[in-house]
Chain A
């Protein structure tokens, strides 16, 4: 699938919405893989901390202020492109949160596959939390515990067949 788009973390880590390794180790923080200048800014307007800036030119790429970001996950639900995840490398396991809009809804405690950017199975994921407040309007933000080594690549959850 790499023939279509860049898939590697190295590439995304250069984007202005990508947090530093040190910040990830301190606790949950947004990880924004938004790399095309499309006219869009709900990440900025949804953030209550003022941690994401797109600016008046709404085709700008979002810039993350990693010190202001608390890793709440609101932007992950708001982004129409589903380009935002939350990552937390402060604990023994890596914690990742991503938007999810399929049924059946993942359940807390459920174990399944951690899926990468190209849909490949990276390892095992355990669902630790599912956020689905009314404000997210049916977009779930699913929090999973995964091996720290794969955390930056995990984008989705697949039930085991």
Chain B
């Protein structure tokens, strides 16, 4: 059995920030991640981030990933990569599976921080299981980690920031965006991201849906249909686009299996991506030894995930006696930076979603 002060599951932006913060506070930190490489989605984000200087805005995600990984390592965090955290058990023990040696192991930590991230949503479409239909994030993974284009002619479904950014990145990798499709009457992501596509001549279709994806054993053609104001297909409005790939960017859902296994109470929040573990402003769940951070606490962004990770890392360490002198001040600063990111018309909805969860948590009705 491995013993450690803090065990973090997931080495993405939230997990790495938590690892750096906990390590800097003096706690021993073990980070577990299933992937070959730490960094989570950061090494797939080749674009420059929004935010302020405090959030490393204007810096590409890949560089932030390098800096954060370096900081976590310098803070003494120990990494167990290629290791699957397969279960959390009643006696507060986490089960591990080493994917290379195929051996099982156990960890007992004083506090856990789950930063397990999210999974891309599936959109039921006729022909939607054909090879060549994939998540927009999958396209990013193939391009930016493994230098492979998912295809040459792409239909992007969804006009949120993920759909817009990944479309731009597909073009940077030499693919053509045959169409960007959005069921709503308006582009839902940032206008500046959409404008990058417009000036490159990308055709965007709002109030439009994919009615069928055709192909023998992979995507060859995508049939689009216009929608009326009630989102009902308009008969006779079908038109066809030639494509070899359909990327789906219709939101993400928090990955909460481990948290559920640990008995953490969930709360449904539409704006945060579905069922999320109930948690307080300090990122503590309804389980006394479990904190969480990042997309598994509600779908937001890498920049918010990093601040949440920091708050969880500092808070969890302080609770077991590390860095208690500075904890309050550091958490306050991180909280302020987090609030900055949740401002404005785009952040407001997420902010109120989070506030609802905090209020519910503070009521303590779950106890």
Which A residues are within 8 Å of any B CB, using their own CB? 1, 3-5, 33-42, 45-46, 57-59, 78-83, 101-103, 115-119, 137-139, 155-156
Which stretch in B148-156, B228-236, B250-258, B336-344 binds the other chain? B336-344
The contact of A39 among B53, B192, B202, B341, by CB within 8 Å, is B341
Which stretch in B43-51, B95-103, B213-221 binds the other chain? B43-51
- Contact between chains at A45 and B58 (CB < 8 Å): yes
- Contact between chains at B191 and A36 (CB < 8 Å): yes
Task: Give every chain B residue within 8 A of A35 (Cβ-Cβ).
Answer: 191
- Contact between chains at A4 and B192 (CB < 8 Å): no
CA distance A137 to B60 in the complex (A): 8
CA distance A89 to B341 in the complex (A): 37
- Contact between chains at A39 and B199 (CB < 8 Å): no
Q: Is the interface of A mostly helix, strand, loop or mixed?
A: loop
- Contact between chains at B48 and A83 (CB < 8 Å): no
- Assuming A116-B199, A117-B199, is B345 touching A81 (CB within 8 A)? no
- Assuming A4-B187, A4-B204, is B52 touching A34 (CB within 8 A)? no
- Contact between chains at B63 and A137 (CB < 8 Å): yes
The contact of B51 among A1, A4, A40, A117, by CB within 8 Å, is A40
The contact of A119 among B63, B202, B340, B345, by CB within 8 Å, is B202
- Assuming A38-B190, A38-B346, is B340 touching A45 (CB within 8 A)? no
Task: Give every chain B residue within 8 A of A57 (Cβ-Cβ).
Answer: 343
B201 contacts the other chain (CB 8 A): yes
- Contact between chains at A4 and B172 (CB < 8 Å): no
Q: Could you list 12 examples of A-B contacts with CB < 8 Å?
A: A4-B206, A5-B191, A38-B50, A38-B192, A41-B51, A42-B58, A59-B343, A80-B47, A81-B192, A82-B195, A103-B174, A139-B48
The contact of A36 among B47, B58, B190, B202, by CB within 8 Å, is B190
Task: Give every chain A residue within 8 A of B57 (Cβ-Cβ).
Answer: 40-42, 45, 80
- Given contacts A4-B187, A5-B191, A119-B201, 7 further A-B pairs with CB under 8 A are A3-B206, A36-B346, A38-B190, A39-B346, A41-B51, A41-B52, A80-B48
**Smallest CB separation, A116 vs chain B (Å):** 7
CA distance A78 to B340 in the complex (A): 19
- Contact between chains at A156 and B58 (CB < 8 Å): no
**Smallest CB separation, B140 vs chain A (Å):** 15
- Contact between chains at B345 and A36 (CB < 8 Å): yes
The contact of B172 among A36, A41, A80, A101, by CB within 8 Å, is A101
* Binary CB contact string for chain B from 184 to 227 against chain A (1 if under 8 A, 0 otherwise): 00110011111110111110101000000000000000000000
Task: Give every chain A residue within 8 A of B194 (Cβ-Cβ).
Answer: 4-5
CA distance A82 to B174 in the complex (A): 20
- Assuming A115-B199, A118-B199, A137-B60, is B193 touching A81 (CB within 8 A)? yes
CA distance A133 to B53 in the complex (A): 20
Task: Give every chain A residue within 8 A of B51 (Cβ-Cβ).
Answer: 39-41, 58
Task: Give every chain A residue within 8 A of B63 (Cβ-Cβ).
Answer: 137
CA distance A39 to B52 in the complex (A): 7
- Contact between chains at B199 and A78 (CB < 8 Å): no
B347 contacts the other chain (CB 8 A): yes
The contact of B198 among A1, A38, A59, by CB within 8 Å, is A1
- Assuming A34-B192, A78-B58, is B172 touching A39 (CB within 8 A)? no
CA distance A108 to B283 in the complex (A): 53
Task: Give every chain A residue within 8 A of B195 (Cβ-Cβ).
Answer: 5, 33, 81-83, 117, 155
Choose among B47, B50, B195, B342 the residue with the greatest number of A CB atoms under 10 Å from its CB. B195
- Assuming A37-B344, A57-B343, A58-B340, is B200 touching A119 (CB within 8 A)? yes
CA distance A35 to B190 in the complex (A): 10
- Contact between chains at A117 and B192 (CB < 8 Å): no
**Smallest CB separation, A42 vs chain B (Å):** 3
Please name the 10 residue pairs, one residue from A and one from B, whose CB atoms are nearest each other, closest first.
A81-B192, A42-B58, A119-B201, A59-B344, A80-B48, A40-B50, A37-B344, A59-B343, A45-B53, A78-B58
- Contact between chains at B198 and A39 (CB < 8 Å): no
CA distance A79 to B59 in the complex (A): 10
